[in-house]
Every structure is written in C-alpha cells, then in structure tokens.
C-alpha cells in the first residue's frame, strides 16, 4: 500500500462550491507499507478482517505522520495570491496568445476545408 496525501485540494474546491478555484496542489507519496500475512489459512474471514484493520491503521498512521511533518506553505493558495504581478501578466499574455493562435489556425483549417483543398476530389 502506498499512502498518498494531497495538500491544498480542500481549500481550492471547498464543499458547496460549484467550480474549483485555480491554485496550487501538492501531492506527496509516502513510503510503501508492506503487510505480511502470517496465517496458514488463507480463506479465514477473521484473519482477513484483522489484516484489513491492520492495513487501515498503518496507512492512517503513516499519512498522519507525513501530514503533520511538513505541510507545504503554498498548498491551497490561489494563483492570484501565489504569483507576483509580473508572473500573472506573463501568464495572462501567454494564455491570450495561445487563444488567438487557436482561433487563427481553426479559421485557416475551415477555409481550407471549405475551399476544397482539404476535401475529397
């Protein structure tokens, strides 16, 4: 079992919100947990229940230890709070240029298709 902790997702998409906020999320993979079955009877339901409880407890403990060890300071912060003004302007301009390029190339493809260059002869 490899426990995974996701920092910041709750803050960026709180309960009741229709859409998530843009921001930073941090995913941390904990050390894998290996649980060994020392029972001779593999079909014993009591033994499976004990193993399931042991796995659950070990996973929760590992996640709690990792969670309290080092919470990332940037997790759950919105892009507006985590980026400087210059970075936001650069991001906005790059996004705008991509949208303009997308519209331009879409129109070129439509014109080629309509003019018969991209269609069947």
pLDDT digits (tens, 9 = 90+) for 21-77: 888 888 888 888 887 766 666 666 677 788 888 888 888 888 888 877 777 777 766
**Over 19-40, what HEC string results?**
CCCCECCEEEECCCCCCCCCCC
Please provide the distance, in angstroms rounded to a whole number, between the alpha carbons at the two ends of the chain. Answer: 58
Q: Identify whether the C-beta of residue 30 lies closer than 8 Å to the C-beta of residue 70.
A: no
pTM above 0.85, yes or no: no
Which pLDDT band, with edges at 50, 70 and 90, does 1 fall under?
confident
pLDDT band at residue 79 using 50, 70 and 90 as cut-offs: low
Burial class, 25, CB count within 10 angstroms (exposed 0-12 / middle 13-18 / buried 19+)? middle
Number of Cβ within 10 Å of residue 24's Cβ equals 18
Of 35 and 100, which is predicted with more confidence? 100
């Amino acid at each position: 079992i490899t426990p995974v902790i996701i920092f910041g997702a709750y803050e960026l998409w709180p309960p009741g919100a229709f859409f998530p906020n843009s921001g930073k999320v941090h995913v941390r993979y904990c050390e894998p947990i290996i649980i060994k079955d020392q029972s001779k009877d593999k079909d014993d339901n009591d033994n499976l229940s004990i193993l399931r409880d042991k796995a659950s407890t070990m996973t929760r403990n590992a996640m709690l230890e990792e969670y309290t060890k080092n919470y990332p300071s940037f997790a759950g912060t919105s892009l507006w709070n985590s980026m400087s003004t210059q970075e936001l302007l650069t991001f906005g301009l790059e996004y705008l240029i991509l949208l303009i390029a997308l519209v331009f190339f879409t129109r070129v493809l439509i014109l080629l298709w309509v003019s018969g260059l991209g269609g069947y002869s």
